[in-house]
Amino acid sequence: MRFFGRAARAIDVPWDMAVGGDLRYDHVEGERTAKSRRLNAFLARVYAAAPRDAAVARVFLGVANLVQRPTRLFAPDMLARVLWHSSF
């Protein structure tokens, strides 16, 4: 059982990223929690900001490629950049 506990810790974040990303599409079946809806709304802003701000693009690519922690997108400097460059 120790193996599975350790494995879960290692794959929880990548799994959440993959599943959460899938749930942004209406045709995908699955429970859309408040958390997944908020994260997908924020990621829509990240996608809009990345082409306009190289720092946002670099951090997003780092997160998407599992080189940086997802929490890096929520650091104050990134939040400001994402919000500034993603006005709808």
Give 41-88 pLDDT, tens digit per residue: 999 999 999 999 999 999 999 999 989 998 999 999 999 999 999 876
The pLDDT value given to residue 42: 92
* Per-residue tokens: 46: 């990240």
What's the CA angle centered on 4, arms 39 and 29, to 5 degrees?
A: 40
Distance set, CA 41 to CA 2, 25, 36 (Å) = 36, 12, 8
Domain boundaries, the chain: 2-85
Please report the pLDDT score of residue 23 as a whole number: 86
